[in-house]
């Protein structure tokens, strides 16, 4: 039985390259005059996707047309009925006999000038499909289809990305991954012949003198590196021919063993794909391309956004990808409740094979019901966008068992405090977007005595966020979450989140440290065990940026206690807060007096990091000092 032949000319494209693409179809069947053909690019025409061509042959640039039996004929734009993507429909002006060819062109009519042609997608993809649907009867009833495959490969080498741990211990070996990337972040081996790269770093050992070639795979692992002395390091790679130099994010070498620092994303999607489209590809992209060490899915709970079959796939794939010491994958979903009372939040499970909790179900239509039927050791509930008007959470029903961390930032803005109080990246929406409301201020919640750590989310354009790009909503860089944990596995990361041992950044891998009396971020200390804290709090601060640091702000009780200036990319200081504790404590209703501190770090490039707070409870002498404090405050008022 003869089969039709589908050939792409050329059969490969470079990511983001402009070219003239031919799809040559040699039919095994008779196609009569009037046959309808629908050609689908599987693209919405977004920035990263394949460029959508024009159909007007008079334009001559970036157009699509077909050719058969020496006749050129134009296309009309139609929509793919299932995928809702742009397709192109042709009507044959002449018959095409078996063995004859039909060619679909995408490019330029001006002498096939490639620079005026059609732009390929900016992401690499093996066997990228283009589908041709055929209806010989000419009624638009497409039952037959043929597929063309074209490889999209990495473009010219532009960047060397060095993936290294942020915290290491002295004399302890670690591995580094080097990714050879094009301008779009794709792996590539497309470099001039003989390109040689030299590896070095500060305090280089004499016996380490590595020269690297660009591998065919586009990445290489450098094993068993270690540092002899504590300090701050950056691994350096230099292309010898051009002298271009690339640096790793900062690596802090500690004098003795401590917690390890892991980077990842608990809420957010890729700008290239969504979990509902292909969860396996998304997880692979986050693990390999983004070099994240943990990732939680964050689909919306509604059946429209996440059908049961999609959730089933998410459950299976997160379990499959979860791998100790490499990549921790977590099951999570977003749940939108009543504004102010419940708000928007993400539920993350500590174990596999858990159900998605749909709000339309009676047993899951309120937070109180969900908390009543679930175990706080197996589920974390993360309030997010708490200062967004439609997503607001006012913390009135704050549940300290489930709500161990709060999203202080995602690409739509920060909920730290209102813009008028100095928010560096406020939620800023037009009349049709999401505006801020002070009811959900994180500082306000902390001052009321609620205790939680900080995480950051990434970008999100689904469900309630879907229309924000069209409504001039301010969108910032996607954030990152850092977790300080004992080990790189699911149990240890969940345990660290529950201990608030984490912090947030606006997307850069800024290393931040905050300690008080040797207690790290997330800790609760009471003066009963540390009575000296009533008179002096010895605070150790360090920050290591990916760019020069400009502001290091120590915040106490929601206000700036001390602002340190910095010019370099690293900063470290010990500071003593000697204000008498009894005079500065907060005393909200039904809580013991307390204070809290956290750190906010800003870089010259505008990126920010927020440490989780540390709390100190005044419990040494309860009634005399506390009542005296109240009288003193009342008198001052």
Given this model, what pLDDT does residue 436 score?
93
Q: Are strands 101-107 and 63-68 parallel, antiparallel or unpaired?
A: antiparallel
User: Which helix (H) or strand (E) covers residue 636, if one does?
Assistant: helix 623-636
Given this model, what pLDDT does residue 429 score?
80
304 with 407, same domain: the answer is yes
374 with 287, same domain: the answer is yes
Q: Is 545 helix (H, G, I), strand (E, B) or coil?
A: coil
Q: Is residue 39, in this structure, part of any structural domain at all?
A: yes
450 with 532, same domain: the answer is no
Given this model, what pLDDT does residue 629 score?
43
Q: How far is CA 94 from CA 28, 33, 35, 131, 144, in A?
A: 16, 4, 9, 22, 19
Distance CA 483, CA 56 (A): 54
Beta bridge partners of 22: 9, 105
**Edge-to-edge strand ranges of the sheet holding 251-254:** 167-169, 251-254, 231-233
138 with 33, same domain: the answer is yes
Q: Is residue 579, in this structure, part of any structural domain at all?
A: yes
309 with 389, same domain: the answer is yes
* CATH number of the domain bearing residue 175: 2.60.40.1930
572 with 496, same domain: the answer is no
Q: Is residue 324, in this structure, part of any structural domain at all?
A: yes
386 with 481, same domain: the answer is yes
Given this model, what pLDDT does residue 114 score?
63
Given this model, what pLDDT does residue 423 score?
95
515 with 495, same domain: the answer is no
Distance CA 580, CA 174 (A): 45
Given this model, what pLDDT does residue 111 score?
65
**Edge-to-edge strand ranges of the sheet holding 125-135:** 12-14, 144-153, 125-135, 36-40, 86-91, 76-79
Chosen domain end from 198, 231, 258: 258
* DSSP structural state of residue 578: -
292 with 401, same domain: the answer is yes
Q: Is residue 571, in this structure, part of any structural domain at all?
A: yes
Beta bridge partners of 556: 559, 597
pLDDT along the chain (637 residues), means of 10: 85 95 94 94 89 90 92 90 84 93 90 78 94 91 92 96 93 92 94 88 58 91 89 90 91 89 94 71 92 96 93 96 96 95 96 95 95 96 96 96 98 96 90 89 97 96 85 92 97 97 97 96 94 95 95 97 91 95 92 95 97 93 43 38
424 with 537, same domain: the answer is no
Distance CA 636, CA 630 (A): 10
The residues, ordered by sequence, that sit 6+ positions from 445 with a Cβ below 8 Å of its Cβ are 386, 395, 398, 406, 452
Structure-token pair, residue 530: 């540390």
392 with 481, same domain: the answer is yes
Chosen domain end from 487, 507, 527: 507
Given this model, what pLDDT does residue 215 score?
92
The number of distinct structural domains making up the chain is 4
308 with 208, same domain: the answer is no
Distance CA 388, CA 371 (A): 23
Given this model, what pLDDT does residue 278 score?
81
> Do the beta carbons of residue 210 and residue 198 sit within 8 Å?
yes
Given this model, what pLDDT does residue 625 score?
42
User: Which helix (H) or strand (E) covers residue 153, if one does?
Assistant: strand 144-153
Given this model, what pLDDT does residue 148 score?
96
Q: How far is CA 349 from CA 2, 59, 329, 395, 507, in A?
A: 53, 54, 10, 22, 24
> Do the beta carbons of residue 433 and residue 468 sit within 8 Å?
yes
**Edge-to-edge strand ranges of the sheet holding 211-213:** 211-213, 196-200, 236-239, 245-247
* CATH number of the domain bearing residue 585: 2.60.40.10
Chosen domain end from 477, 507, 537: 507
Residue 17: domain span: 5-153
Q: Is residue 267, in this structure, part of any structural domain at all?
A: no
Given this model, what pLDDT does residue 469 score?
77
Q: Is residue 265, in this structure, part of any structural domain at all?
A: no
Distance CA 425, CA 412 (A): 9
């Amino acid at each position: 039985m003869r089969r039709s032949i589908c050939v792409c000319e050329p059969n490969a494209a470079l990511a983001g390259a402009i070219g003239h693409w031919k799809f040559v179809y040699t039919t095994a069947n008779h196609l009569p005059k009037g046959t309808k053909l629908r050609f689908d690019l599987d693209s919405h025409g977004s920035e990263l996707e394949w460029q959508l061509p024009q159909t007007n042959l008079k334009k001559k640039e970036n157009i699509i047309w077909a050719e058969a039996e020496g006749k050129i004929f134009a296309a009309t734009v139609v929509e793919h009925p299932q995928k809702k993507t742009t397709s192109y429909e042709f009507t044959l002006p002449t018959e095409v006999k078996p063995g004859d060819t039909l060619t679909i062109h995408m490019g330029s009519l001006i002498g096939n000038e490639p620079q005026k042609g059609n732009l390929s997608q900016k992401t690499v993809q093996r066997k990228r499909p283009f589908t041709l649907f055929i209806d010989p009867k000419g009624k638009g009833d497409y039952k037959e289809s043929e597929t063309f495959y074209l490889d999209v490969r990495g473009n010219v080498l532009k960047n060397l990305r060095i993936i290294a741990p942020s915290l290491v211990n002295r004399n302890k070996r670690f591995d580094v991954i080097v990714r050879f990337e094009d301008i779009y972040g794709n792996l590539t081996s497309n470099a001039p012949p003989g390109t040689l790269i030299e590896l070095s770093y500060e305090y280089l050992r004499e016996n380490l003198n590595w020269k690297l070639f660009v591998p065919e795979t586009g990445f290489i692992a450098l094993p068993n590196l270690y540092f002899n002395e504590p300090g701050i390091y950056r691994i350096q790679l230099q292309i010898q021919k051009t002298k271009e130099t690339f640096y790793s994010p900062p690596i802090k070498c500690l004098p003795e063993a401590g917690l390890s620092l892991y980077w990842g994303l608990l809420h957010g999607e890729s700008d290239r794909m969504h979990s509902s489209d292909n969860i396996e590809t998304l997880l692979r992209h986050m693990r390999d391309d983004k070099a994240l060490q943990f990732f939680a899915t964050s689909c919306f709970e509604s059946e429209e956004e996440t059908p049961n079959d999609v959730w089933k796939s998410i459950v299976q794939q997160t379990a499959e990808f979860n791998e100790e010491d490499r990549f921790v994958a977590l099951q999570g979903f977003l749940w939108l409740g009543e504004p102010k009372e419940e708000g928007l939040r993400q539920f993350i499970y500590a174990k596999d094979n858990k159900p998605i909790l749909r709000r339309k179900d009676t047993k899951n239509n309120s937070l109180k019901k969900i908390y009543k039927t679930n175990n706080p050791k197996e589920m974390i509930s993360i309030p997010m966008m708490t200062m967004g008007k439609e997503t607001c959470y006012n913390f009135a029903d704050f549940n300290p068992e489930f709500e161990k961390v709060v999203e202080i930032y995602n690409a739509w803005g920060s909920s730290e405090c209102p813009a008028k109080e100095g928010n560096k990246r406020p939620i800023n929406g037009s009349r049709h977007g999401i505006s801020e409301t002070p009811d959900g201020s994180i500082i306000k919640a902390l001052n009321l005595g609620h205790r939680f750590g900080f995480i950051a989310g990434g970008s999100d354009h689904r469900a309630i966020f879907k229309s924000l790009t069209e409504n001039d909503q301010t969108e910032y860089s996607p954030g990152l979450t850092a977790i300080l944990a004992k080990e790189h596995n699911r149990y240890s990361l969940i345990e660290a989140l529950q201990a608030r041992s984490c912090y947030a950044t606006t997307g850069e891998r800024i290393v931040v440290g905050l300690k008080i009396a040797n207690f790290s971020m997330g800790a609760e200390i009471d003066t009963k065990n540390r009575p000296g804290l009533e008179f002096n709090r010895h605070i150790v601060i360090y920050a290591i940026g990916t760019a020069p640091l400009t502001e290091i702000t120590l915040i106490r009780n929601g206000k700036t206690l001390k602002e340190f200036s910095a010019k370099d990319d690293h900063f470290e200081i010990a500071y003593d807060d000697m204000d008498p504790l009894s005079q500065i404590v907060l005393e909200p209703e039904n809580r013991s007096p307390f204070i809290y501190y956290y750190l906010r770090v800003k870089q010259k490039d505008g990126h920010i990091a927020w440490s989780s707070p540390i709390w100190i409870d005044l419990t040494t002498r309860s009634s005399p000092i506390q009542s005296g404090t109240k009288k003193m405050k009342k008198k001052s008022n």
